[in-house]
Structure 1
Amino acid sequence: MENIEEDVQLGTNRYTEVQAIGTAAQTRMENKDYKEPPPAPLFEPMELSSWAFYRAGIAEFVATFLFLYITVLTVMGVQKSPRMCSTVGRQGIAWAFGGMIFALVYCTAGISGGHINPAVTFGMLLARKLSLTRAVFYIIMQCLGAICGAAVVKGFQGSRYERLGGGANVVGHGYTKGDGLGAEIMGTFLLVYTVFSATDAKRNVRDSHVPILAPLPIGFAVFLVHLATIPITGTGINPARSLGAAIVYNKDQAWHDHWIFWLGPFSGAALATFYHQVIIRAIPFKSKY
């Protein structure tokens, strides 16, 4: 009995901070167990001599390649059928995009961070979570991977690829360019905000299960955005995905509004970065780390 009382007393002393709830408890816990990681340097020339740097870029290339291969094939399968109900339909397309992001982020998060999207990389750069050197390298590899993924689909599909639109993003009939730009900004805002929230180092300290579950909300966010915006723009929210399909398809309609699929995602990523880093985390206003 004496030993039990000692265990109870030890437990009480050990977990007093955890028992409190609310903002005050969060503040005490932040001061106790969390230290803000330092910002990444803007230029890091030493990275260029590291194999880990190139391995991360290769991981981004392969992940984006696989992403385009599966998703473009899914889009073309739906386009080929005369009746939507005889295929996976728009919900199936949304699941293909969201599911692939879930799987690929899970596979590559420990190697490159699992960006698979220049807009995500841009947001991380603005938040100083990676260097400009790495960000530029990632975006180049993502775009090359997307081009190769779409090219392999075209090689397998032949004439059907061009007849079915090649999975290229265009503003839908009945929608304006402003509609398309707004959809891309808001969709990417949701995606990048989810990425920041799911990978927040502060949350990782408190909830050890978060790094394992992080790919799930990211993939689910992609799924939900596709459900909402497929009729408007075909859902870009990823400049590499839009560029790869446009280059390989290479028809006028794929290039008419292509700027929307760069300006929209990058604007949405910048807004999400500002919201999370400045409003939610208030990082610029902290006096100590």
Structure 2
Amino acid sequence: MSEIKSWSFWRAVLAEFLGMIIFIFMGLSAAVGDPNDLNLDREIKVAFAFGLAIATLAECIGHISGAQLNPAVTLGLVTSCRISILRALFYMLAQMLGAVVGSAIVYGIRAEHIDSLGVNELNGISPAQGFGMEFMLTLQLVLCLVAFHDKRRDIGGFAPLAYGFSVTLGHLAGQVVFSSMGCRSPTRDVGSIQLDPLDLQLYRRLSMITGYVLSLGLQVIQIVTDVGSLVFQVYWAGPMSAGVVAALLYNYVLAPSDESFKEKTKILLCWAPEQEQECETEPLLEDVVE
């Protein structure tokens, strides 16, 4: 718990917030784009926009927060016992807020003829099939992230490039199922928001994006509706469950770790010696000796 008292912790949370704003802004700007673009050209443009954005941000803030920029990735890393539960919760909150702010910026500067922010829609398939597609797309992404966060490996400066390729791959593959391509991140579906102050459905739509942390109360109402249930099943349950499965698959099947359960528990609760040392760096709250 002592990590919350350090400046490095809050800088990392801020990095996730700002990184998500930039990521969503760049991606949605490309998704909105020119309505006269050919469908194939638009799909390739959007895929590379998201991929290049994540690679750039991974280089910019990777050394600060890990540039996770995805609640499914964060959940995968906490399942892998790479970060503490407290850090994961703050990261997810920052990512969700950043996604809403990023989409609001795009909406505010969009051309007048644009009334949507690249809404993701199922392309003639059932919610169960959409769940399966989101699960597979997120599985490869989180496997990639968990692998290059493995301290036993040394991939040098190629991590941002690998992250960008994985995101691009997922967007290109997702176009088969989703009219605006797969999202693989619950916050990516921020494109479904139409930020009209007079829209009476705004709060329900925001609940689709901010999910577990920001809209816990609204989820109960949301899930009993068809649209709410669809968004939860496909764009939340799919990626988040894939994040957990990818972490378990890598850490217990593909590349088992030698760390004991006690050591992993210490990391989750920020009791590990290396994390305690980090927490003591640049303290936010100084001990007062009377």
Q: Which residue of 2 aligns with 1:14?
A: none
Where do 1:13-24 residues align within 5 Å? none
SS at match of 1:275: helix
- Seen in structure 2, the aligned counterparts of structure 1 residues 267 and 154 have a Cα distance that, compared at 3 Å, is same
Deviation at 1:179, TM superposition (A): 1.6
Q: TM-score, normalised by structure 2?
A: 0.74
Aligned length: 233
C-alpha distance in structure 1 between counterparts of 2:176 and 2:245, whole Å: 24
Higher relative contact order (CA 8 A, sep 6+): 2
Other-structure match for 2:118:
167
Q: Does 1:107 align with 2:81?
A: no
Larger Rg: 1
Unaligned 5+ residue runs, structure 2? Answer: 209-226, 264-290
Q: Give distance in 2, aligned partners of 1:81 and 1:145.
A: 29
Shift of 1:211: 3.2
Q: 2:242 aligns with which of 246, 251, 268?
A: 268
- Output the CA distance in 2 between the equivalents of 1:84 and 1:127: 39
In structure 2, the CA distance between the partners of 1:155 and 1:285, relative to structure 1 (3 Å rule), is: closer
Number of the residue aligned with 1:84: 39
* Secondary structure of 1:201's aligned partner: coil
Question: One-letter code of the match for 1:217?
Answer: A
With over 3 angstroms needed to count, the CA separation of the structure-2 counterparts of 1:182 and 1:287, relative to structure 1, is: closer
Cα distance change of structure 1 residues 248 and 148 upon mapping to structure 2, 3 Å threshold: farther
Shift of 1:275: 0.9
Range with bigger deviation, 147-156 or 210-219: 210-219
Q: Which residue of 2 aligns with 1:59?
A: 15
Q: What code does the residue aligned with 1:258 have?
A: V
Per the alignment, in what secondary structure is the counterpart of residue 203 of structure 1? coil
**Aligned amino acid, residue 246 of structure 1:** S
**TM-score, scaled relative to structure 1:** 0.74
Displacement after TM superposition at 1:241 (Å): 1.9
Tell me if structure 2 keeps the 8 A contact 1:198–1:218: no
2:167 is aligned to 222
Counterpart amino acid of residue 20 in structure 2: T
Between Structure 1 and Structure 2, the one with more helix by share is 1
Deviation track 1:100-132 (CA, whole Å, cap 9, x = no partner) reads 111111111100011011110000111111111
| Residue 203 of structure 1: aligned partner | 153
Report the more deviating stretch, 233-242 or 124-133: 233-242
State the distance in 2 between where 1:145 and 1:288 align. 34
- SS in structure 2 of the partner of residue 109 of structure 1: helix
- Distance (whole Å) between structure 1 residues aligned to residue 6 and residue 89 of structure 2: 16
> What amino acid maps onto 1:202 in structure 2?
R
Return the offset for 1:91.
1.1
Going from structure 1 to structure 2, the CA distance change for 1:278 and 1:76 (only over 3 Å counts) comes to same
TM superposition shift of 1:281: 1.7
Give the letter for the 2:247 counterpart.
T
Residue number in structure 2 paired with 1:192: 142
- Tell me how far apart the structure 2 counterparts of residues 115 and 225 of structure 1 sit (CA, whole Å): 16
What does residue 183 of structure 2 align with? 236
Compared with structure 1, are the counterparts of its residues 246 and 287 closer, same or farther at alpha carbon in structure 2 (3 Å cutoff)?
A: closer
- Which segments of 5 or more consecutive residues in structure 1 lack a partner in the other structure? 1-44, 205-209
Q: Which amino acid aligns with 1:282?
A: P
Partner of 1:160: helix, strand, or coil? coil
CA contact (8 A) 2:51 2:168 kept: yes
Per-residue CA deviations over 1:252-278 (Å, capped at 9, x if unaligned) read 997622111110111111111011000
Q: Distance in 2 between matches of 1:158 and 1:92?
A: 19
Tell me which of 221, 231, 246 is aligned to 1:258: 231
Distance 1:248 1:107 in 2: 30
Amino acid paired to 2:177: I
**Amino acid of the residue matched to residue 74 of structure 1?**
A
Deviation at 1:83, TM superposition (A): 3.5
Which piece of structure 1 moves more, 246-255 or 132-141? 246-255
Q: Distance in 2 between matches of 1:119 and 1:248?
A: 24
Asked if 1:126 is matched to 2:79, the reply is yes
User: Which amino acid in 2 is paired with 1:236?
Assistant: C
Amino acid corresponding to residue 227 of structure 1 in structure 2: L
The corresponding residue for 2:102 is 149
Using the TM superposition, give the Cα deviation of residue 236 of structure 1 relative to its aligned residue in structure 2, in angstroms. Answer: 1.2
Give a deviation string over 1:2-25, Cα, whole Å, max 9, x none: xxxxxxxxxxxxxxxxxxxxxxxx
Identity over aligned residues, as a percent?
30
Structure-2 separation of matches of 1:191 and 1:168: 21
